[in-house]
Amino acid sequence: MTLARKKRFWNTVDVAQTEAGFVIQLDGRTVKTPERRDLLLPTQRAAELVAREWDDASGELDPAQMPATRWANVSVDRMGDQMAAVVDMLAAYGENDLLCYRSSHPQELIARQAALWDAPLEWASRTFDAPLLVTSGVIPVAQPNQSVANLRQAVAKLDRFELAAFHDLVQISGSLVLALAVSHQHMAAEQAWEVARVDEIWQVDQWGVDDEAAEAGEIKRQAFLLAEELLLSVRKTLH
């Protein structure tokens, strides 16, 4: 059973352990990926997160409401052949990390950015021997080659399931450093999310809440928190 079938037909959803890992079964039938592989997860916790979506589904299936299943499908079907390219793409964020680009005014925003962004950069410098340069404005600053290489090495240690979740942490926040802080459990995703939103929070303080922007922001926040949950669900050892 894959998402190609549009309507729920099953009654029971179970997680079953096999010699290779954990699968989700619908009335005893193993869920398949879009490429017809068994949707095999490395841990029971990860399988339970996916199974919960199938158990909650009713009527017509909506892939947009099954993000853990999409993550598992990508991990199984796509990451094996594309891991090196994904690592390179994510590591490139270290060359233009959000935390390195500061406002030139006003002073209060500059101070907020420094208060929240300096510490994660210092942590990355210590942890990965990867000091990054900070600049004001949008003109690119060339980061030390060794720092970028060391950050890439940290990303390359992730397995395919971790990497698929890590991808969302990086792309949603715009910061490789914050994603690594969450991955290494130096910072909880909720805290990292607030750190990444310093500029947005500043705008809200100045001009008030835009309901449409707030709704879009909450969708991103939920996706960011789920990415942390999925990443940690397959974590057996800390990288």
Q: Residue 55 class from Cβ within 10 Å (0-12 exposed, 13-18 middle, 19+ buried)?
A: middle
Mean pLDDT computed over 127-141? 93
pLDDT of residue 5: 52
d(CA 113, CA 200) in angstroms, rounded, equals: 11
pLDDT in tens, 139-176: 889 999 999 999 999 999 999 999 999 999 999 999 99
pTM: 0.93
59 confidence band (pLDDT: 50, 70, 90): confident
Q: Which fold has domain 80-233?
A: ATP12-like fold (1.10.3580)
The beta strand positions in the chain, using DSSP E, are 13-17, 22-26, 29-30, 101-102, 135-136
Block residue for tokens 């199984």: 76
- The domain locations on the chain are 13-66, 80-233
User: Percent of the chain scored above 70 by pLDDT?
Assistant: 96
d(CA 236, CA 234) in angstroms, rounded, equals: 6
Higher-pLDDT residue of 62 and 3 is 62
Candidates 3.30.2180.10, 1.10.3720.10, 2.40.160.40, 3.30.750.24; CATH matching 13-66: 3.30.2180.10
For the cut 70, the answer to whether the pLDDT of residue 2 exceeds it is no
d(CA 174, CA 137) in angstroms, rounded, equals: 16
For the cut 80, the answer to whether the pLDDT of residue 202 exceeds it is yes
